[in-house]
Amino acid sequence: MSAGVCIWQCKGCGTKVFPQRLLCPHCHGAAFDEERVHEGVVEELSVIRHMIGQESWQPRRIANVRTKDGPMMTVGLRDEAGEGAVVELFQEEGGPFGRRKTG
Amino acid sequence: MPSAAIIGVGQSGYTRRPEPGQSTHTFIRDAVVAALADAQIDARDVHGMAVASFSLAPDTAVDLAWKLGLSLRWLLQDTNGGSSAMNMLGHALRGIESGAADVILVVGGDATGLAGYGRIAANYNIATRDHLAPLGHGGPNGVYALVTSRQMKKYGLAKSDYGHIAIAQRAFAAKNPFAVYRAPLTMEAYLAAPMVADPLSRYDCVPVVAGAQAIVLAHPDRAPPGRAAVGVRAHRASFNYDNQAGDGLATGISTFAAELWQAAGVAPRDIDVASIYDDYPGMVLAQLDDLGMIADHDLARFCRRDIGEERRPINTWGGMLSAGQPGGPAGGLNAISEAVLQLQGRAGERQVEGARLAVATGYGMTMYRYGGTAAAAILERVE
């Protein structure tokens, strides 16, 4: 697990994107800096109760999160954070996850 | 008179569970045989083919041509999922119009099985494989659960509003012998159905089936005697319309709808039958709104009055929600095929009397947060 989620910032115009692109969608520059975004707000969430083709599926929560630095992101929720909650973001095996921010 | 039109349609049987020996290829074969018989075209006269399928690999379009015994001079394999059918239709029309081929067969089909579908859903593209599948995001059900939640908040929609769409389409499906689900659906049963991915429950999620659908295009003079061909007044498509930076509540159709109607020389009020790509009820509403077919953008009133009470003729074969989704490509071809049958007066018990103009759409390729491809066509009976 690593703190924050990697996003990409265009060196030309500063646009921040997630997932990674080949060219900036705004200025079409090809150079990006990697950054990490650590926080976002849950806008919508869902409980995935069934997954086609899976027989022993355990329900899990996902959310649409507006990150503090810009890009919208779909994350897995690791607690009962609800809509409007501020979550801290972290990354596991490439996947972005969140849990309610404390403190 | 247009120089290219749809002159025949045909489909395989649809099933939730294929029998041993049935495969994507055999379903496609069955649809091809049915479409050529319907068009009264000899296979030796087919010189063009377009195909889309998630489960044809490792074969490609030319392998399919080989296995069907078709020697071609025009060939296309499309990868645009739910808008593949509309995309292939556009290319095939131009193929006929340009003289590249006199007769073009357009086919889509899949027989992934439920486990195979799960693997496709988790590996749909690199973004999905790397950033969604690790969450256990539930495939497209999870993605459109979030989109539907947004839509409910923005438009003040209740869960039961989506139920009107599922129920109305099920009533049409009862009149379609190919539909996999034909038993009547009540609002009580809709609301009591188990949740799949909140707020989507069982009847909001398109059922995966195995099957295939095909259509045949040629000059309208090639239509079987006594039957009108179906032409396309206008066709437009959109790909990656917003770089996934929006809310997904508008589709790529919003970028071309005005131009589509203008090119067709008709208005939304002129449409007799609509075939709207229906992987989820919310996306039916999004596309109809983009087309300008929902008055005042009042989605809730449209569901309750236009669908619930007036039963507007939308997805009159039952849609994929009741007839089944044999992969996005064939599902999109169902939409076109139903428009053709309606405009030719061949839709049987579900016939919309006097239907002369139809709109058909495709929507698909869930790139990350929602679909990135969309297309639409205005179809008419060629007199």
Give the tokens for residue B32: 């091809």
Q: Which residue in B330, B335, B328, B340 sits closest to B364, CA to CA?
A: B328
Average pLDDT, chain B: 96
pLDDT score of B14 more than 90: yes
Name which of B129, B131, B157 to mutate to probe chain A: the one with the most chain A Cβ atoms within 10 A of its Cβ: B131
Q: What is the pLDDT of residue B115?
A: 76
Show the beta-strand stretches assigned E in chain A.
2-3, 5-10, 16-17, 32-37, 39-48, 60-67, 72-77, 86-92, 95-100
Q: Over 90: is that where the pLDDT of B381 sits?
A: yes
Q: Which residues of A touch B141 (CB under 8 A)?
A: 48, 50, 52
Fold agreement between B5-114+211-222 and B137-205+227-381:
yes
* Peptide bond just before B199 cis, omega within 30 deg: yes
Domain limits, chain B: 5-114+211-222, 137-205+227-381
Check residue B327 and give its pLDDT: 85
Partners of A27 on chain B (C-beta within 8 Å) are none
Q: How confident is the model at residue A96 (pLDDT cuts 50, 70, 90)?
A: very high
B113 min Cα distance to partner chain A (Å)? 8
- Contacts A65 to B, Cβ<8 Å: none
Model pLDDT, residue B72: 98
Whether B64 contacts B25, CB under 8 Å: yes
Share of chain B above pLDDT 70, in %: 100
Q: Report the pLDDT value the prediction gives residue A53, as an integer from 0 to 100.
A: 74
* Nearest partner of B206 among B58, B102, B352, B315, judged by Cα: B315
Residue A2: is it exposed, middle or buried by C-beta count within 10 angstroms (0-12/13-18/19+)? exposed
Residues of B in contact with A25 (CB under 8 A): 243, 245
Q: Which CATH class is domain B5-114+211-222?
A: alpha beta
- Domain ranges (residues) in chain A: 2-100
Question: Is B220 a residue whose pLDDT tops 80?
Answer: yes
SS3 B381: strand
Cβ–Cβ pairs < 8 A, chains A and B: 107
pLDDT of residue A52: 77
pLDDT score of B367 more than 90: yes
Give the tokens for residue B336: 């076109």
pLDDT of residue A81: 96
Give yes or no for residue B124 having a pLDDT over 90. no
State yes or no: pLDDT of B108 exceeds 80.
yes
B315: pLDDT confidence band, cut at 50, 70 and 90? very high
Evaluate if residue B89 carries a pLDDT over 90: yes
pLDDT in tens, B141-198: 999 999 999 999 999 999 999 999 999 999 999 999 999 999 999 999 999 999 999 9
By C-alpha distance, the chain B residue nearest A76 is: B135
Return the closest-CA partner of residue B139 out of A87, A68, A60.
A60
**Most A-contacting residue of B135, B150, B195, B244 (CB-CB within 10 A), to test interface:** B135
For residue B74, name the pLDDT band (cuts at 50, 70, 90).
very high
pLDDT higher than threshold 90 for residue A55: no
3-state secondary structure of B289: helix
A46:B139 CB<8 A: no
The answer to whether A85 touches A43, Cβ cutoff 8 Å, is no
CATH fold, domain A2-100, is OB fold (Dihydrolipoamide Acetyltransferase, E2P) (2.40.50)
Share of chain B above pLDDT 90, in %: 93
Q: For residue B136, give the nearest of A44, A51, A64 by CB distance.
A: A51
For chain A, list residues whose CB is within 8 angstroms of any CB belonging to chain B: 18-19, 25, 43-54, 57, 60, 62-64, 72, 74-76, 92-97
| Cβ-based interface (< 8 Å): residues of B facing A | 113-119, 121, 126-127, 130-139, 141-143, 145-146, 149-150, 153, 194-200, 208, 243, 245, 368-369
Query: DSSP for A23-35?
Result: S-TTT----EEEE
- State the alpha helices, DSSP H only, in A54-95: none
Find the mean pLDDT for residues A40-69: 91
- Count other C-beta atoms under 10 Å from residue A100's C-beta: 15
Interface with chain A: mutation pick from B112, B137, B141, highest number of A CBs within 10 Å:
B137
- For residue A103, pLDDT beyond 80: no
Interface mutation target, options A20, A23, A48, chain B, most CBs of B under 10 Å = A48
| pLDDT tens profile B250-262 | 999 999 999 999 9
Which residue of B lies nearest to A75 if distances are taken between CA atoms?
B135
**What is the pLDDT averaged over residues B48-66?**
97
A53 vs B117, B130, B142: nearest CB: B117
pLDDT of residue B247: 95
What interhelical angle do B61-68 and B24-39 show, nearest 10? 60
Q: Which of B174, B143, B30, B35 is nearest to B81 (CA)?
A: B143
Residue A1 pLDDT: 81
Residue by residue, DSSP assigns B10-59 as EE---BSSPPTT--HHHHHHHHHHHHHHHHT--GGG--EEEEE-SS-TT-
Here the ipTM equals 0.96
Mean pLDDT across A15-26? 97
Please, what is the angle between helix B327-343 and helix B84-97, to 10°? 60
Instruction: Tell whether the model's pLDDT for residue A54 goes beyond 80.
Output: no
- CATH ID of B137-205+227-381, from 3.30.1600.10, 3.40.50.2300, 3.90.550.10, 3.40.47.10: 3.40.47.10
CB within 8 Å: A74 and B150: no
